[in-house]
Amino acid sequence: MKKLIGIVVLGLLLSGNSYAEYQIDYYRWLLDNNQTQFLDKEKKLKRWLIDNKKLGERFKWDSNPGLEKLHYQVFHFNKQHDNWDKHVINGSSKPYEFKINLKEDRKKLIKRIDKDMQKTGLLSYLLFENDEIVIDKKSPSDRLGLLFDNDTKWTTASVGKSFTSYVVGQAICDGYIENVDVKLNDWPLIKNTLYENVKLIDLLNMAAGDQKYSNDESDLVNTRPKNPNVNSLKYHMDGHFKGSKPSKNKYNYSNIVANIIINYVWFKSDGDFQKITDRVFKEKARIKDSIYFLKISNRTTQGRQNGIKYKYLVNDEDGALRYSMELSRYDFLRVAKAMLDDWKNDTCVGKYLKTIHERKIPKNHKERKPSKSYGGQFHFDYTGFKNRNIFGLDGAYGQSILIDMDNSKIVSINSIHTNYNWHKIALSALK
pLDDT tens track of the chain, all 431 residues?
Answer: 544 544 444 454 444 444 567 778 888 888 889 888 888 777 777 665 555 545 444 556 557 888 888 998 899 899 888 888 999 999 999 999 999 999 999 999 999 999 999 999 999 999 999 999 999 999 999 999 999 999 999 999 999 999 999 999 999 999 999 999 999 999 999 999 999 999 999 999 999 999 999 988 778 998 878 888 888 999 999 989 999 999 999 999 999 999 999 999 999 999 999 999 999 999 999 999 999 999 987 666 666 666 666 666 788 999 999 999 999 999 999 999 999 999 999 999 999 999 999 999 999 877 767 899 999 999 999 999 999 999 999 999 999 999 999 999 999 999 999 999 999 999 999 98
- Give residue 51's domain range: 2-84
Candidates 212, 206, 175, 183; CA nearest to 359 is 206
Q: What is the DSSP letter of 141?
A: T
Q: Cis check for the bond before 140: say yes or no (omega within 30 of 0).
A: no
The dihedrals phi and psi of 297, each to the nearest 5 degrees, come to -70, 160
> Is residue 193 located within the same domain as residue 302?
yes
> Is residue 24 located within the same domain as residue 37?
yes
Candidates 127, 124, 120; CA nearest to 145 is 124
Q: Does residue 141 sit within a domain?
A: yes
> Is residue 295 located within the same domain as residue 331?
no
> How many distinct structural domains can be found in the chain?
3
Q: What is the DSSP letter of 39?
A: B
Q: Does residue 18 sit within a domain?
A: yes
Tell which of 291, 326, 361 closes a domain. Answer: 326
Give the predicted TM-score (pTM) of the model.
0.92
> Is residue 333 located within the same domain as residue 317?
no
> Is residue 138 located within the same domain as residue 175?
no
Q: Is 227 helix (H, G, I), strand (E, B) or coil?
A: coil
The dihedrals phi and psi of 313, each to the nearest 5 degrees, come to -90, 130
In the chain, count of helices (H) and strands (E)?
Answer: 13, 17
> Is residue 286 located within the same domain as residue 193?
yes
Rounded to 5°, angle at Cα 14 from 11 and 20 = 75
Q: Angle, to 10 degrees, between the axis of helix 329-345 and the axis of helix 159-173?
A: 40
Edge-to-edge strands of the sheet including 122-129? 99-100, 132-138, 122-129, 409-415, 400-404, 390-394, 378-382, 371-375, 361-362
